[in-house]
Copies of this chain bind each other. A is one copy, B any other.
């Protein structure tokens, strides 16, 4: 892989987790870091019975101080009620808490869904003694089904909020995720250090329904509101927006970032934002790669690097198309060095491609150079594909555009998960 810094470990719980040893000097990964690692953030989670499994399904994340806040939301024309509410509550670029549930997406639920999302915000605000307009709401799970508000009301009342419940919040967001996705990094910056933390959930479902990607980011840095939004958008564009599991996007996708300023640093903005931007990017990238690695039915992480495109936009388009191709993904599942499919996916991506300039590499072995097949050891390359991480590189040799996308293989298990008849 392009970064050798991802190491795999096992938590005491037996769940998989992937910790990131940040390589950049000045950045330090926090052991068991999570969304409550930055100063002044607390969380709590309960099992209120939305999920039949009795697993954690309702949580609150909150800050001791009102935060500068930013959000990036689904581009789907169909938006869940929580997305619409959270967008409204972020208009003033301020927020203080997020209430989240799994097991029910509260999407395609009409006027009742809007009222239910509104009530969730109100109940959380009352509990925290803050304004409902400072509460964001996120829901993931079944679509077209109303929230069991009786259980949600009891659940919000019963949540116990503490400084070290970030891990439980990460679990309360999960649907068919096989491991919790969380990390935090501390930054020794001049003037004043700060911490960035985050949790995410990826492609999964509790009943077979659309995948929802949720991510909540926190920082104790003081950040200018406009800069915070642009920094988040930029970080999302090169991380979550470069992940593809199956091409479907959800009405519930949401990334929210709260900055409470308790680090008492000099306010970060355009002029001095480089280190913050980099830290935010690293946290998002780590969580994004966790989502790709944990795609439904996935057995491996697929990294596709495109170089030499005419523009960055075309490089992103090309990398995402290759990483999202069902035929490429199925070949990678079978450890098949079937590069014709990679070239075919590139060719339909919309990026400018000149066949006679194209170089293609599988796990750093060149299989096509300037449009011509290069003989290679099929057995050896096939064996190298039988690992947890596969790296494809395409050099278009046309310009300076570079981008990397992440995905996963396509397994029979993906189909099994998504075709189970449950109703």
Interface residues of A (CB under 8 A from B): 75-79, 105, 107-110, 142-145, 208-211, 246-251, 325-327, 330-331, 333-341, 343-349, 351-353, 355, 368, 371-373, 378-379, 382, 409-412, 414-416, 418-423
Contact A418 B340 (CB under 8 A): no
Contact A340 B143 (CB under 8 A): yes
Contacts of A76 in B (CB 8 A): 344, 347-348
Contact A339 B144 (CB under 8 A): yes
Contact A355 B422 (CB under 8 A): no
A143-B344, A330-B415 are contacts. A247–B247 as well, Cβ < 8 Å? yes
Contact B348 A77 (CB under 8 A): yes
Contacts of A210 in B (CB 8 A): 327, 340-341, 344
Contact A336 B415 (CB under 8 A): no
CB of A274 to closest CB in B, whole Å = 34
Contacts of A419 in B (CB 8 A): 330-331, 333-334, 336, 409-411
The secondary-structure label for the interface of chain A is loop
4 residue pairs, one from A and one from B, having the closest CB atoms? A143-B340, A334-B419, A78-B347, A330-B418
Q: List 14 A-B contacts (CB under 8 A).
A: A105-B340, A108-B343, A108-B368, A108-B373, A145-B373, A208-B338, A209-B338, A210-B341, A246-B327, A249-B348, A334-B419, A334-B421, A337-B423, A382-B423
Contacts of A379 in B (CB 8 A): 423
Among residues of B, the one whose C-beta sits closest to the C-beta of A105 is B340
Contact A340 B108 (CB under 8 A): yes
Contacts of A142 in B (CB 8 A): 340
Among residues of B, the one whose C-beta sits closest to the C-beta of A378 is B423
Among residues of B, the one whose C-beta sits closest to the C-beta of A353 is B77
Instruction: Please indicate which of the listed interface residues A247, A412, A421 has the most CB atoms of chain B within 10 Å of its own CB.
Output: A421
Contact A251 B108 (CB under 8 A): no
CB of A286 to closest CB in B, whole Å = 26
Contacts of A368 in B (CB 8 A): 108, 144
Contact B420 A78 (CB under 8 A): no
Contact A326 B247 (CB under 8 A): yes
Contact B416 A412 (CB under 8 A): yes
Contacts of A250 in B (CB 8 A): 344
Contacts of A336 in B (CB 8 A): 208, 419-423
Among residues of B, the one whose C-beta sits closest to the C-beta of A377 is B423
Instruction: Please indicate which of the listed interface residues A142, A144, A335, A411 has the most CB atoms of chain B within 10 Å of its own CB.
Output: A144
Contact B326 A248 (CB under 8 A): yes
Contacts of A79 in B (CB 8 A): 347, 355
Contacts of A338 in B (CB 8 A): 208-209, 423
Contacts of A330 in B (CB 8 A): 208, 414-415, 418-419
Among residues of B, the one whose C-beta sits closest to the C-beta of A250 is B344
Contacts A79-B355, A208-B334 given; 7 further ones with Cβ under 8 A? A76-B347, A77-B348, A78-B355, A108-B340, A248-B327, A250-B344, A337-B423
- Whole-angstrom CA separation of A330 from B341 in the bound complex: 22
Contacts of A421 in B (CB 8 A): 334-336, 382
Instruction: Please indicate which of the listed interface residues A326, A331, A409 has the most CB atoms of chain B within 10 Å of its own CB.
Output: A326
